[in-house]
Amino acid sequence: MDTEVVQSVARYAEEVMGSEGFRYVSAVVANCKMLAVELESQALEEEQPFAIDTDALVVAAYLHDISTVAHGFHEHQLKSAEMALEFLRELDVPEPQLQTVEQALLTHTTALPAEERTGALTEGQILYDADKLGRLSGLAVVTSLIEFGARYPNRAVTGEVLAAILRHVEERFIELYQSLYTAPARELAREKFHRTLAFLDGVIEHLSDSTPV
């Protein structure tokens, strides 16, 4: 894919999402690039073919959340794919790469069970991992608590309630970590993941049922 196309895509993503949204998207792009390099190196060592279109992967990473500003996150992969194809066709991107980008966008929110993970790794699976890496850190705990506060502004938060929230967050963290498709993604996430779990376990252990927060 032409370098100018990738640059145009990056500018478009920034225009649509604004500086804060683009900052997150850029982190996902960086994760995609790191994972692609690691996976290609691994394939070379094992003398296996590497069939990932890295340019299409990067383009999909820039565009994977573009619909969320106007339409929210509910099934955003569908609208983001629609918007992405419309923009990329204006840039005369070849049809095979359009299809690769579209499939990456449509599948990047889906975690297949281990028993269904057959066949070659796809761009969508790498994008899934890159997107989830940012959610396996302590910052995600803070985000979860803020979301709870916004959803239930009048609910008293006792130590018992907070412990229950944190247990739910912990369960979600474990599910996310286990859902990652690639070994490089699990390796990148491992230290932050275990550090966050240790933090959550410590807080939950010391919370008293009678302690108001």
Report CA-CA distances (Å) from 202 to 11, 140, 178, 189. Answer: 43, 17, 22, 20
On average, the pLDDT of the chain sits at 86
Q: Give the pLDDT confidence of 87-109 residue by residue, as tens digits.
A: 999 999 999 999 999 999 999 99
Instruction: Tell me what percent of the chain is helix, strand and coil, each rounded to the nearest 5.
Output: 75, 0, 25
Burial of residue 124 (CB within 10 Å: 0-12, 13-18, 19+) is: buried
Residue type for position 37: V
- pLDDT given at position 190: 84
> Averaged over 12-16, what is the pLDDT?
96
Tens of pLDDT, residue by residue over 129-163, are 999 987 776 666 666 666 666 777 777 767 777 77
pTM metric for this prediction = 0.83
Percent of the chain past pLDDT 70, that is, above it, reads 90
Residue 116, burial from CB neighbour count under 10 angstroms (0-12, 13-18, 19+): exposed
Query: CA 152 to CA 44: how far, in whole Å?
Result: 51
